Amino acid sequence: MATVPANDMTNALPSPEGRTMGHLALHYGPAGDGPAAARLLSLLGLVETQMLPLPHGNFYRFVVNPTHFARGDGIVYLSALPEPQVRLIEAMHATLGLGTAQEHPAVGAYRAMLASDPEASFHFGFLVPSLEDLEDLALALRDLAENDPEFRGRIKVTANRARRGDAAVDARLDASPVFGDCTRFAYGRNGVQVFIETDLVKAGQLGECMFFELDYVFPGDGDHILSVVEV
């Protein structure tokens, strides 16, 4: 199959605005998890525009921000896992012996990878407009993970601070209620990350949990965590 160079606009869409990201479809597990999963997406900043009650679990439509209400992009759909997919996940778990003494060693290695690096597998990232907004949200989610009946034991919050090297950024993060004591670092400078792991949304190779990523990029520098990867 032929490829088109990145700067070749011959096959560009006729839209005056060009191509945008359209939608992402997410799933929760049991029907009873639907409201809590939808509540989590709302807390992460998505705007719910529709809730359709269905026999096997509610169907939800979200947009990334209010300016997308009348558009066909920036949409996130949330619905219950279809029954064939539930059966497939159950068959995989049984074959791999999840939770048993005979659990396949690949399962432990996969989970260890995600514990070390939450963005190593499928995840959904959001760009947050201010560091203060991100800190407030991270603190609120940590409180919900400990004290809210719907979220207790269902969400886990992990933070990565920017690599050191910019004195102003380092000082701001040292004083942060979220990143001040953080010992994990992002794959780059001038930006921070907060990861939310939850089994309220099903994804990944094992169909167990979803990782959401919340990013903030410090202004004024073209090289940051979302533009340049450092090793």
**CA atoms lying within 13 Å on the CB side of residue 49:** 17
Non-local CB neighbours of 133 within 8 Å, separated by 6+ positions? 216
Mean pLDDT of 90-98: 97
- Residue ranges in the chain assigned as alpha helix (H): 34-43, 83-96, 105-116, 131-147, 167-174
pLDDT digits (tens, 9 = 90+) for 120-151: 999 999 999 999 999 999 999 999 999 999 99
pLDDT of residue 4: 35
pLDDT of residue 172: 96
pLDDT digits (tens, 9 = 90+) for 169-186: 999 999 999 999 999 999
**CA atoms lying within 13 Å on the CB side of residue 57:** 19
Non-local CB neighbours of 15 within 8 Å, separated by 6+ positions? none
pLDDT band (50, 70, 90) for residue 225: confident
3-state secondary structure of 115: helix
pLDDT of residue 10: 44
Which tokens go with 63?
């947009």
Q: Among 11-20, 48-57, 84-93, 196-205, where is mean pLDDT lowest?
A: 11-20
Amino acid at 138: A
pLDDT of residue 77: 97
pLDDT of residue 3: 37
Cα 44 from Cα 36, distance rounded (Å)? 12
pLDDT of residue 9: 40
pLDDT band (50, 70, 90) for residue 97: very high
Mean pLDDT of 51-77: 90
pLDDT beyond 60 at 13: no
pLDDT of residue 17: 66
DSSP 196: E
Which tokens go with 149?
């009946």
Region of 134 (left: φ > 0; alpha: ψ -120 to 50; beta: rest) is alpha
The single residue listed with the structure tokens 């499928």 is 122
Cα 204 from Cα 12, distance rounded (Å)? 32
